[in-house]
Structure 1
Amino acid sequence: MTGVRCRVMTFNVRYDTAADGDHAWEHRRPLVASVVRYHAPDVVGLQEPLHHQYASLREQLPEYTWEGVGRNNGGSEGEHCPLGWRTARVERERHGTVWLSESPGQPGSSYPTASKPRLVTWARLVVDGAPLVVCNTHFDHESETARVQSARQLRRLVGELGGATDESALTVPVAVLGDFNCTPGSEPYRVLTGAGGDADVEGDPGPVLTDAMDASEHPHHGPTVTFERFHGPPDTKIDHVFVAGDVTVRQHAVVADHWDGRPPSDHCPVVAELVVGK
């Protein structure tokens, strides 16, 4: 099999709160859907939508199949972290949800220092015949300790889902999408990418993740930061696409679409074009 191209996107769409005023969800709802529709990822991971936001986006984007649950109870409560894939091109073999905690199968669980429950939505997909595991997550925004623990857990999960035979070999390539609330060089990022050494990861460290921005064959497109807070231009990069296993990154971009000065979210989406399979 020759390599199959697959475009992935991670997009924190910002939860619905009236405190956002002119940037509240009712004003941004069609803009968020338009960004996804126009850039046409084969697989997209969203962060922060509440249940009604998630329902609205599913309605506006019928070309995608979606999976994802609320972080508070595994149902409809709390922010969601859903995965969507283009139904005409991508098939799902299986999917699941793991909470970032010491009890990953318990809905609503969290690490002791985390401010909120956090989770990973994952799916084993087949893109035009090529298998690809995709994980979507949102790390805690307050606790560095919880982010480090989540990074360790995520690496082990990537190894399990990708069928790791040792620390470096995966039988299925993996793409990891998300708002990690950490910048390059921070401790959680160093754990994810192995920059701090495997001594930073307790027990089986799992595969090292590679930042798609660094691995891109073509120069990065767009801004190099993603988080703007609705107050001026973005100033930090906390949204990332990571890859592991037999996957090539062709292109990487941060999408800075605006409508008459209005951003669709307080985060810019990140898009990567991957080549998977042989």
Structure 2
Amino acid sequence: MMSNSFDHENRDSWYFGAINRQEATDLLMNEKEGGVFLVRDSASCAGDYVLCVKEDSKVSHYIINKIQNNDGVKYRIGDRTFPDLPKILSFYKLHYLDTTPLIRPASKKVEKVIAKFDFTSKEKDDLCFKKGDILTIVFKDEEQWWTAKTSDGKTGLIPVPYVQKLEDSHSPVDNPRPGSGEPISSLGAQSEPGRRSQIQRKLPAHARVKQVRVPNAYDETALKLEIGDTILVTKTNINGQWEGILNGKTGYFPFTHVEFIEDDT
């Protein structure tokens, strides 16, 4: 077994962001030795984390609760409390969890995606790209926003619904996706990048709801969304809150909860 001399202060090496339990399990099961680990966001409780560790022939998932009180923020794992995440990792370099201490962070897999649409934004943290661009995922910050890098080294946030995974066995040149290489009537003026801040689409246009949303009861401007609903999108805003009409009511909703109906012209 290799020595556990990893840098517990190097967050980029061990924090994997918003990957889910199954992704973490699959990743760690591919590692040869026990004690390989990663830290991910908890899917069930916002603000909490999960320490995932390969132990023998299984992967254990230890919840880390974020506790906020008058003394500031602390982190609890089991019956122990620590001031921050690196201190937890430092402690478990020397102490066993179940069958092993922490040896090293899991290897980060290089993941590439291909853009399904153009994305332009005036936000300085966002990464603009064109349909068909190949991007490398740097970090999965949130469920709907990831940090990515272009082939020329530019880095920024991208909206996940605008891209799809690029399978290693598929070349976008050898296997063009349907519609690639030909103009799509619902995608507009490609010759004017930046002219609009979202997908270049003629509005109004219909979109299908793919994620349930129950708005705050006191927010009269927000639309309640059910999977399969069809919204008439009337306006796209750079802040990600789009405007539309659903069941006769006009209101706002997050663009990440819908996808345009492709045959809608």
TM-score with structure 1 length normalisation? 0.23
Q: Which has the higher strand share?
A: 2
TM-score with structure 2 length normalisation? 0.24
Rg comparison, structure with higher value: 2
Q: Which has the higher helix share?
A: 1
